Every structure is written in structure tokens, then in C-alpha cells.
Structure 1
Amino acid sequence: METELFQKLAISLGLGLLVGLQRQHEKSELAGIRTFPLITLFGSVAALLSQEFGGWVIAAGLLSLTLLVAIANILKRKNPHFDPGLTTEAAALLMYVVGAYIMLGSGAVAIAIGATTAVLLHLKETLHRIVERIGEKDLKAIMQFVVILLVILPVLPDETYGPYEVLNPHNIWLMVVLIVGISLLGYFAYKIFGGRAGIILGGILGGLISSTATTVSYARRSKGADTSVSLAAIVIFIASIVSVVRIITEVAVVAPAALTVVLPPLAALLILMLLIGGITYMFSNKEHDIMPAQGNPAQFKTALVFGLIYAIVILATAFAKDQLGNKGLFIVAIISGLTDVDAITLSTARLMNIGNLEEQSGWKVILVAALSNLVFKGALVGFLGNKKVFVRVALLFGIVLAGGLIVLWMWPAGFSISSFK
């Protein structure tokens, strides 16, 4: 018992030292390397006493600390270089509570909170620079995502409706949140790094936001001679590589248990694409280009459209499986993959997760959809882009399609990651 108590006190001391070190480095006038450990230990001792005398001890300690902070702030105001910020004050109050929680709650949670506090304090300049780059449009994107995630999602019923009882509003919107979240991550990465990006970064950001939109954008620019043939082809191809990473991520989130079977064949395709992309990049001009302006991926219209597409794909897969068996799913995969590979990926992952589709068939459906999406993007380049760009993209995509078909045809049945265990 005493050993556990001393361990908790050591954690309290360590977290206080961590935050105090950061504040001392920033030359805080209120609290530093000695004060913060004392604050967290104060909270821990108050929590220990509360177990004997009641919770009022913690409240009294917090009130006492608040008064001390207030008095220190009053004295600070006499300094001609007074900083009106309340960061250190807020950190002091939080670390008192963390010190108390170590004794009464989960040590892991307390460590996570304390470490996060230290990191947030350390990233002051970085966070300020990010905020400075956020405009009205970006703030709107954040607020729209908050509405999508925290306002709409919680109120949707978690029940199944419609034919085959596969339409669950809550689950459908949860998939919307996942896709919008991934796209929003790419959008803000674009905002942080700026429009001027190299080939690799441009392709990665484009794939995170939308590989199809990136394909359309660079195909059009190549036709107007706004960008080079080499650059357009490699950015389009890198964006398609990232789309495969997105597929794997989506399966990992929706059907983690199926990943041992689904990952190897998709990883084989990904490795092939990485090899092709690496060789192509080595022989390309190492150019820099200004990425086209990216739209807000968190718009309600975009979210609703994806939700509708996903719902249709769910119904289509349920109908196809009921009427045609697993073979019907491949038809749906080909059609759905032409426009939105995310929807069929999530739908198939869901079927695998609830046990309505074998994983050995599931990865094939997803791979067919991915290959179908490549065909669609290649056709877009041929219709919208420069002929030279189309030839390059068609060659790159053609090799990937051949490799994907070989994987579909020759991949050993029953192979999974667990085979190596």
C-alpha cells in the first residue's frame, strides 16, 4: 500500500516538474520549476486528506490556491512589463486538480492530462502561427465539422430501418464523420504548409483531401499548360497511392478484426504503387508547384451527398448479396468504385465487422472497387487533360491494374497476418 502511495506521489512530483520546467524555460513570473511540483503535491496531499475528512479539503485547497494566484497577479501588475495572459494561472489550477486526481482516480489519465498540458504550453508559438493562418473560411470549416460531429451525430437514432434493415442513421453519419474528418485533416495540412508544395507533399495532401478532385484539377491544369506533364502525372499518382492508405485506414477503423486478412493483399498493391511512384519520381523533374485552391470538405452539402451515396451503396450491397450472393457485391464494387471508393469500402468493412461477409471475399470486393476507381480517374485524365499526361497516367495506372488483377487471381486462399504467428 505504501509502495503504491509513493509511486503516485512520484508521478505527481514528476508531472509538476515537467510543467514547471516548461514554464521556467518561458521565464514565467508566477510559477516555475519549484512552484509547479509543490502545486501538484499540494493537490495530492489534499486528496489524501479528503479520504479521511471529506471532499471539502480538496475544495478548500483549490480555493486557497486560487487566492494565492490572484494575489500574485495583483503584485505582477506593478511590473511595467506585466503580461495579462492567464496561461500559467490556468495551468497552476489544472495541475492542482491533476495532483488530486492521481490519488483518487486513474493514474494513466492523470499522466495523459499532465503531459498534454506541458505539450500545449510548449507549443505556444506553433499554435499561434497556425491560428494566424486560419481565415474566415477555415473557421467556418471547423465549426461545420463540430456541428457534423457533436450536434448532428448524437441526435440521430441508433436503430435500423428500411429494406434488409441495414439503414442505421447513426452509423451512416458516423461514416460521414470519418470521411469528412480525414479530408479535413488534409485540408488543414494544406493550409499549414501553404499552396507552394513539392511533388510528394502535393500528392499526399491531394490524396488526403480527395484523390479524384486532385486528378481533375491537375488534369485540367496540364491541358492549359499551367503545369508540366511530369509534375501532373506524378502528383495524380501519389494522390492515388494515398487513397489506398485511406482505404486501409477505413477498414482498420470500421472492421479492425478483419485487418489481419484484408491488410496483406492491399499492402501488396500499396507496395507496388510505392515502387512505381518511387521510380517515376527519380526520373521526374524535381519541380515545385502551387497547389490549386482546396475547397472546404466539411460543407453540409458534401457531407449529405456522401451520406446519401453511402446509404445507397449499403442498400445495393445488401440487395446484391441477397439476390446474387457474393458475386453481386463485385458488380456493386465496380459501379460504386467509379465515383466513390470510400462508400463501398466502408460498406464492405461493415459487412465483415457484423459477420455477414467473409473477410476473404471482403478484401477482393474492396480491391475491385479500388481498381475501378483507378480506371475512372484515368478516364478523367484522358477527357480533361493533356494527351501526354494521359499517356503517362495510363501507363502508371495500367501497371497497377495488372498487378491488382494478379493479386485477385493468385493470392493464396486463407492467407492472413496470423499465418506468421
Structure 2
Amino acid sequence: MELELFEVLGISLGLGLLVGLQRQYQNSKLAGIRTFPLVTLLGTLSALLSVEYGGWVVAAGFVSITAIVVIGNFLRIKTTVVRVGLTTEVAMLLMFTIGAYLVHGSSTVAIALGATVAVLLQMKGTLHGFVDRIGEKDIRAIMKLVVISMVILPVLPNRTYGPYDVINPHNIWLMVVLIVSISLLGYFAYKAFGGKAGAILGGSLGGLISSTATTVSYARRTKSASANTMLAALVILIASTIAFVRILLEVTVVAPDILGIVAPPFIAMFLLMTVIAGVAYIFKGNNGERMPEQGNPAQLKVALVFGLVYGVVIFASAAAKDFLGEEGLYIVGILSGLTNVDAITLSTARLMTSGNIDLHNGWRVILIGALSNIAFKIVLAGFLGSRSLFAKIALLLGLVLIGGIAILWLWPEELDLLTEWF
């Protein structure tokens, strides 16, 4: 019992020191490396005493810390003209609460919360700079995500409809929230780094936002005589490579139980594309091109279109299996991949977890959809880009298609090396 008690007190002290170190480094006048450990330990001891004497001890401790903060700020106002923010004050109250939570809650959660407080305090400049860089359009994007995830999603019925009993409005919109969130994450990463993005970062951000949109943007740029077509081809290839990471992320979120089956062939595809991209990187050159302006992915119209596509794909998958057997799903994968790989990935993963599709056929349906999308990008490059870009994209993505077809054809069904890991 004493060992556990000292462990709790040690964690409390460590978290207080961590946050106090950061505040001391930032020259906080109110509290620093000595005060924060004392505040956190006070919270922990108050919670320990509350076991014997009741919860009023914690409440009294919280009120006492609040009074100290108020008095400290009053004295500072009397002695200085400049008024700083309330960050340190709030951090003190929060660390007191985290110290108290350590006694009755999870130490892992408390450590995560304490580390988060320290990181947030340290990232003041980065966060303020990010807010300064975003505009009204970006604030609207965040609000639209809130509407999509917290207003629309809760009111949708969580039951299935239709002849195949697969259309669930709540689940469909949940997939919309997932895809919009991933795309918005990439979009804000672009807002933070887009102006400085080189080929690797530009392609990676493009893959998170939309690899197809990235293909269109860079293909159009190559119509200019000064455009670096090898650089454009590399960015498109990297965006397509990250799209496979995005597929694995989506499967991890919606169907983690099947990741052991899905991951190995897709990791093989990722490694193949990484090698091809590495060779292309050697020949890319550099003319200082900036990443093209990215569209805001959190549009309600975009969300509705994806929801419609996802619903059609999951219904078409069930119908194709009914009329044509599981082989009919390959046709759905090809057609869906021309428009949206996310839809075929999420719908197939759902059907795999429910047992409606054989696991080894399921990952092949997803891969066929991804390869169909890559073939579509070659066509886009030919129509929208220069002849030089088309030649390079046809070679690079053509090698990817050959490798993908080989994996479809030769991958052994009994190979399931990652099942124990996931």
C-alpha cells in the first residue's frame, strides 16, 4: 500500500515539475518550477485526505488555490501596467485537479493530461501563429465539421433500411465524419506548412487531403512551359502512396479486427511505391515550386456527395454479391475506385467485419478499387497535363499497377503474419 502511495505521489511530483519547468522557462511571474509541483501535490494530498474526511477537503483545497491565484493577480495588477493572460492561473487549477484525480482515477490518464498541459503551454507561439494564419474560411470549415459531427450525426436513425438491410443512415454519416476529419487534418497541415512544402511534404499533405485533387492541381500546372514535370510527377506519386496509408488508417478505425488480413498486401504496395518514389526523387530537380492552393474539404456539399457515394457503393456491393457472387464485388471496386477509394474501402471493411464478404476477397476488392483510382490518375494526367508529365506518370504509376496486379494474382491466402499483432 505504501509503495502504491509513493508511486502516486511520485507521478504527481513529476507532472508538477514538468509543467513548472515549462512555466519557469517562459518566465511566468505567478508560478514556476517550485510552485507547480506544490500545487499538484496539494491536489493529490487533498484527494487522499478526502478518503477519510470527505470530499470537502478537495473542495477546500481548490478554493484555496483559487484564492491564491486571485490575490497573486491582484498584487500584480497593482504593481504593473501590463496585464498578461490567464494561462498560468488556469494551468495551476488544472494541475491541482489532476493531482487530485491521480488518487481515484487512472494514472495513465493523469500522465497524459499533465503532458498535454505542458505541450499546450509550450506551443503558445505555434498555436497563436496558426490562428493568425487561418482566415474566416477556415473557421467556417471547423464550424461545418462541428455541424457534421455533433449536430447531424446524433439525430440520424441508427437502424438499417432497404432490401439488403445494409443502409444505415447513422453509420453512413459516421463514415462521412471520419473522411472529412482526415481530409481537414491534412488541410490544416497544409495551412501550417503548405507554403514551405517540398515534394515529399507536398505529396504527403495532398494524399491526406485528396490524392485525386492533387493530381488535377499538379497536372494543370505542367501546361506552363516553366513547370517541372518530374517534380509534379513525384508529388502525384507520393500523394498516391499516402493514399494507401489513408486506406490502412480507415480500416484501423472502422474494422481493427481485420487489419491483420488487410495490412500485409497494402504495406507491400506502400513499400513498392516508396521505392519507386525514391528513384524518382533522385531525378526530380528543384525549381522552388510551391504547393498549389488546396480547397476546403469540410464543405457540406462534399459531405453529402460522399455520403451518397458511400451509400450507393455499400448497396451495390450487397446487390452484386447477391446476383453475381463475391466476384461481382470486383466490378463494384473498379467502378467505385474511379470516383472515390474511401467509399469502397469503408463499405468493404464493414462487410468484411459482418461476415458478408470473405476476408481474402475483401482486401482484394479494396486493392482493385485503389488500382482503379491509380489508372484514373494516369488518364487525368494525360488529359489535363503536358505530354512530358503523361509519359512520366504513365511510367511511374504503370509500374505501380503492374506491382498491384502481381500482388492480386500471387499473394498467398494463407499469409496472415500480422494477425497476432493487431
The TM-score bracket by the shorter chain reads: over 0.9
Aligned to 2:136: 136
Contact 2:316 2:332 in 1 (8 A): yes
Report SS of the residue matched to 2:79.
coil
Output the CA distance in 2 between the equivalents of 1:420 and 1:183: 31
Query: Does 2:198 align with 1:198?
Result: yes
Report SS of the residue matched to 2:304.
helix
Contact 1:161 1:167 in 2 (8 A): yes
Segments ≥4 residues shifted beyond 6 Å: none
The one-letter code matched in structure 1 to 2:31 is A
Count of equivalent residues: 421
Query: Does 2:262 align with 1:256?
Result: no
Q: What are the within-5 Å matches in structure 2 for residues 207-218 of structure 1?
A: 207-218=207-218
Aligned to 1:393: 393
Report SS of the residue matched to 1:409.
helix
- CA change 1:419–1:319 in 2 (3 A) is closer
Aligned to 1:384: 384
The one-letter code matched in structure 2 to 1:386 is S
Query: Any idea what the Cα deviations from partners look like across 1:341-396, whole Å, max 9, x if unmatched?
Result: 11001111111122221221111111111111111111111111111111111111
Query: Any idea what the Cα deviations from partners look like across 1:93-142, whole Å, max 9, x if unmatched?
Result: 11111111111222221111111111111111111111111111111111
Aligned to 1:186: 186
- CA change 1:180–1:418 in 2 (3 A) is closer
The one-letter code matched in structure 2 to 1:57 is V
The one-letter code matched in structure 2 to 1:250 is E
Q: Which runs of 5+ in 1 are unaligned?
A: none
Output the CA distance in 2 between the equivalents of 1:381 and 1:227: 14
Output the CA distance in 2 between the equivalents of 1:419 and 1:189: 33
Output the CA distance in 2 between the equivalents of 1:78 and 1:257: 61
Contact 2:166 2:315 in 1 (8 A): yes
The one-letter code matched in structure 2 to 1:404 is G
The one-letter code matched in structure 2 to 1:351 is L
Aligned to 1:222: 222
The one-letter code matched in structure 2 to 1:151 is V
Aligned to 1:403: 403
Report SS of the residue matched to 2:197.
strand
Output the CA distance in 2 between the equivalents of 1:80 and 1:173: 53
Q: Percent identity?
A: 62
Contact 2:217 2:292 in 1 (8 A): yes
Output the CA distance in 2 between the equivalents of 1:278 and 1:23: 43
Q: Which runs of 5+ in 2 are unaligned?
A: none
Q: What are the within-5 Å matches in structure 2 for residues 91-240 of structure 1?
A: 91-225=91-225, 227-240=227-240
Query: Any idea what the Cα deviations from partners look like across 1:253-296, whole Å, max 9, x if unmatched?
Result: 22212111111111111111111111111122133312221111
Q: Residue 81 of structure 1: CA displacement?
A: 5.3
Aligned to 1:25: 25
- CA change 1:363–1:126 in 2 (3 A) is same
Contact 1:197 1:288 in 2 (8 A): no
Aligned to 1:328: 328
Aligned alpha-carbon RMSD (Å) = 1.5
Output the CA distance in 2 between the equivalents of 1:418 and 1:108: 27
Report SS of the residue matched to 1:194.
helix
Aligned to 1:80: 80
Report SS of the residue matched to 1:413.
coil
The one-letter code matched in structure 1 to 2:107 is G
Report SS of the residue matched to 2:222.
helix
Query: Any idea what the Cα deviations from partners look like across 1:163-191, whole Å, max 9, x if unmatched?
Result: 21111111111111111111111111111
The one-letter code matched in structure 1 to 2:325 is G
Output the CA distance in 2 between the equivalents of 1:255 and 1:144: 26
Output the CA distance in 1 between the equivalents of 2:382 and 2:391: 8
The one-letter code matched in structure 2 to 1:87 is T
TM-score (norm 2): 0.96
Output the CA distance in 1 between the equivalents of 2:37 and 2:339: 57
Contact 2:264 2:418 in 1 (8 A): no
Query: Any idea what the Cα deviations from partners look like across 1:45-89, whole Å, max 9, x if unmatched?
Result: 211222222212211211111111111111011233543311111
Report SS of the residue matched to 1:291.
coil
The one-letter code matched in structure 1 to 2:376 is F
